Structure 1
Amino acid sequence: MRLAFVASHTSVAQEARHALVERYGEVPPAEAEVIVALGGDGFMLRTLHTYRALEVPVYGMKLGQVGFLMNKYRAEDLPGRIAKAHAAVLHPLEMHTVDVAGVERKALAFNEVSLIRQSNQAAHLEVKLDGEVKLPVLVCDGVLVATPAGSTAYNLSAYGPILPLDANVLALTPISAFRPRRWRGAILPHRTEVSLRILDPGKRPVSATADFHEMRDVLRVDVRQAEGRGVSLLFDPEHNLEQRILDEQFAQD
C-alpha cells in the first residue's frame, strides 16, 4: 500500500511520523493510495484543504488535543487497519464574501462558515434562503452554517443540532441571538443557498470564517454546498464517523 504521511508540527506527531515512515516507507501525497494524517482535528482540516484536489482518501490518527475526525493512534498493522476502514465522504461548503471595499473572495469549509461581530456592538444581519428573506433583522453575536461533520464542533457549542452524516441537511445556528429572542436556528436542505447581509457594516462590523480562512469587514456572505468536491475520510469500523455522531448525542460530559 502506497502511503504518504503528514504530521502537525508538535514533537510527538513528528516523532510518530518518522517512526511510521521507517516502518512502512512513504511516497509523495500525489502518488499515494492513502494519506495518513497525524495530529488533531485542526490539522486534519488543514490536510483536507491542502490535498483535496488529489482525490486521495485520508486516514487520521489522533496525536493532538481534539480528535473527533481521527482514529486512535496505533503503529501496528497500519495497512491492515486502512484496508478495513469505512469511508465517509465529506462535502464542503463554499463561502463567497464581498467586503466593504467591494473585494470578493471565496473559501471552502468542511466544518462550518461562521460570522462573528468584530466590535462590542451586536451584529445586525439579514437572512435569505434561496433568495427569499426569512429574517429581515437578526440581532446577534453571530451566526454559522454547519455541515453534518461540523455539527459536533462550533455548532454544538452554540447549541445547534447534531446532524446525521447522511441526512443531506445543514444547520443554520445563531450565536447569542438577541432578536428574534425565540429563534434557535433552522435545519436546511443541503442544496439551500444561504445569503447573509450585514445591515450596518460601518457601526457593526462583521468577519466571516470558513474553517480557518477569515475575511474581515464583510458586507455580504453567500454560502452553499460545493458541488463535486467531496473528500473521503477513513475510519476504523468500530469508530466510524456515523457512530461517533450518534454517540455524541448521548455524551455525558
Structure 2
Amino acid sequence: MASKIAFLASSAPVAQTARTALITRYGNYEPAEADVIVALGGDGFMLRTLHGTQDLPAPVYGMNRGTIGFLMNEYSESDLVDRLNAAEEEVINPLTMTAMDRDGVRHDALAINEVSLLRAGPQAAKLRISVDGRVRLAELVCDGALLATPAGSTAYNYSAHGPILPIGSDVLALTAIAAFRPRRWRGALLPKTAMVRFDVIEPEKRPVMADADSTSIDNIDWVEIRSEPSISHRLLFDPGHGLEERLISEQFA
C-alpha cells in the first residue's frame, strides 16, 4: 500500500506545477522515508532519479511531464494512489563503466541506458574491441560505438540502428555508430555477463570521449564495461504498459 509518497520533479515549469498540485493533494515525504518515489519529468529526469535513489528501498514510478516519456507513465492527478497500488514492477540492472583517460586518471560511472564512445575530433575514431579478454575486432573505424542494456535499447542504440532487446533477455547490444570499416559491421549481441573493452587507437590524432548516461569523460585511452547485477533499479508501470509491452510495441510503430 503506497501511503508515503515522495514527489520529485525536473526543473521544467510543467513538472514543477504538477509536483505542487500533487503535494497539495497527497502530501510529501523525503525519499528515504517514502514507500514509493514519484518522478515528474521526462526520460532524462527519470534516469537521474534512478541514479540518485539507487541506494533507497522505494521503487520509482514516473509520470510524463517531458517529451518522449518511454520510461514514464501517463500523467494523471486524480487516481494516483490506486495506480500506485496496482502498478507492476520491473527490475533492471545498470552497466558499470571504468574509463582510463590519457593522463592516467581512472573514471567510474554507471549507465542505465548505454555507455557510448564518440569521436571528439574531425577524424573518425579507431577502436579495438575485446570481449572477455579476447580481441574480437582489431580495428573499427567509426564515429563511435555503444553498449546498451535492454531498457536502453530503444534509445541511442535504436537511433544507431541497433536491435531492440526484450526486457527480460540476458543480452547486451554492441552497436557501431556510422561504421566506415568494416563497412557492413553493424554490431553484435553479447551475453549479459560479458566484459567489453574498447581501446582507442591513435588517441592523440583521433580523440575519443566516453559517455555513461550523460556522465562524459574526455580523451579516453580505454574503457571497460560490464553489467552490474549487484545494483537493481525498481520501476513501476501501470498494468499492461510495462517495459516489455513498450519494447514490443516500439517494433511495430
Structure 1-normalised TM-score? 0.98
> Which runs of structure 2 are paired with 1:1-253 in the superposition (5 Å)?
1-251=3-253
Q: How many residues align?
A: 251
Instruction: Name the amino acid aligned to 2:26.
Output: Y
The one-letter code matched in structure 1 to 2:221 is L
CA distance in 1 between partners of 2:83 and 2:169 (Å): 27
Distance 1:225 1:79 in 2: 34
Aligned residues: CA RMSD: 0.6
Aligned amino acid, residue 71 of structure 1: N
* 8 A Cα contact 1:61 1:72, kept in partner: yes
Gaps of 5+ in 1: none
CA distance in 2, matches of 1:102, 1:55: 36
Q: How many Å separate the matches in 1 of 2:121 and 2:89? A: 42
Q: 2:226 aligns to what SS in structure 1?
A: strand
Retained in 2: the 8 A contact 1:8–1:38? yes
- Separation in 1, partners of 2:220, 2:186: 24
Equivalents in 2 of 1:238, 1:131: separation in Å? Answer: 41
| 1:206-250 C-alpha deviation (Å, 9 max, x unpaired) | 000001100000100000001210110000012111000000011
CA distance in 2, matches of 1:179, 1:230: 37
Cα shift readout 1:108-141 (whole Å, capped 9, x = no counterpart) = 0000000000001100000000000000000000
Contact 1:2 1:27 in 2 (8 A): yes
Q: Deviations over 1:70-94 (max 9, x none)?
A: 0000011211101111111110000
Q: Which amino acid aligns with 2:75?
A: Y
Supply the distance in 1 between the matched residues of 2:58 and 2:194 (Cα, whole angstroms).
28
Q: Deviations over 1:39-91 (max 9, x none)?
A: 00010001011111113200000000120000000011211101111111110
Which blocks of at least 5 consecutive residues in structure 2 are unaligned?
A: none
Question: Does the CA contact (< 8 Å) of 1:60 and 1:70 recur in 2?
Answer: yes
CA distance in 1 between counterparts of 2:192 and 2:88 reads 23
After superposition, give the CA deviation of every residue in 1:131-181 in whole Å (9 maximum; x if it has no partner).
Answer: 000000000000000000100000000000000000111000000001111
In 1: Cα distance, 2:24 partner to 2:182 partner: 58
SS at match of 1:232: strand
Find the residue that maps to 1:238 and give its secondary structure: coil
Answer whether contact 1:55 1:231 (CA < 8 A) is retained: no
Flag as ranges the 4+ runs of structure 1 deviating above 4 A. none
Q: Which has the higher helix share?
A: 1
